[in-house]
């Protein structure tokens, strides 16, 4: 059974629209992350959350808003979509915010977003 679920697997959107990418993890982890992968920037860190609180934000645009309704959920809302937002978005999680000897990030399968 998949331990990190990302929905949808594929997503096509029109420029200017708004979409929400879903991430749920069933590993009992307390920290969750979003990364973006595209041809221009192979793997780019976006956000990290720990116990549902934002810890690190490396995304300049406020169009990207993470939302954590439950400890094991970290969704990503993207507004005013642009073609440059086309990428694969990966959710990841770790037991605790990375710093402990045993902590490792595990990645979800990704959501491929195409903005036309």
Partner 1 sequence: GEQVEQRPPHLSVREGDSAVITCTYTDPNSYYFFWYKQEPGASLQLLMKVFSSTEINEGQGFTVLLNKKDKRLSLNLTAAHPGDSAAYFCAVSYNNNAPRFGAGTKLSVKP
Q: Give the binding site for partner 1 (CB under 8 A).
A: 33, 35, 42-45, 48, 55-56, 90, 97-99, 101, 103-110
CA 87 to chain centre: 12
What is the distance between the alpha carbons of residues 70 and 22, in angstroms, rounded to a whole number?
12
Residue with smaller CB distance to partner 1, 63 or 107: 107
> Smallest distance, Å, CB 74 to partner 1?
13
Structure tokens given for 43:
């793997």
Smallest separation, CB 43 to partner 1 (Å): 4
Smaller CB separation from partner 1, 14 or 41: 41
Q: Alpha carbon 57 to chain centroid distance? A: 12
Nearer residue to partner 1 within complex by CB, 79 or 109: 109
Residue pair 16/80 in contact by the 8 Å Cβ criterion: yes
Beta pairing partners, 11:
113
Minimum CB distance to partner 1, residue 92 (Å): 8
């Amino acid at each position: 059974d998949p331990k990190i679920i990302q929905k949808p697997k594929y997503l096509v959107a029109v420029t200017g629209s708004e979409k929400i990418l879903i991430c749920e993890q069933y590993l009992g982890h307390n920290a969750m992350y979003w990364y973006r992968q595209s041809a221009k920037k192979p793997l780019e860190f976006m956000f990290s959350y720990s116990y549902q609180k934002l810890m690190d934000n490396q995304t300049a645009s406020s169009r990207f808003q993470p939302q954590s309704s439950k400890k094991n959920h970290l969704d990503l809302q993207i507004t005013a979509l642009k073609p440059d937002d086309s990428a694969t978005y990966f959710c990841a999680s770790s037991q605790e915010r990375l710093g402990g000897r045993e902590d490792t990030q595990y990645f979800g399968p990704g959501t491929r977003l195409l903005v036309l």
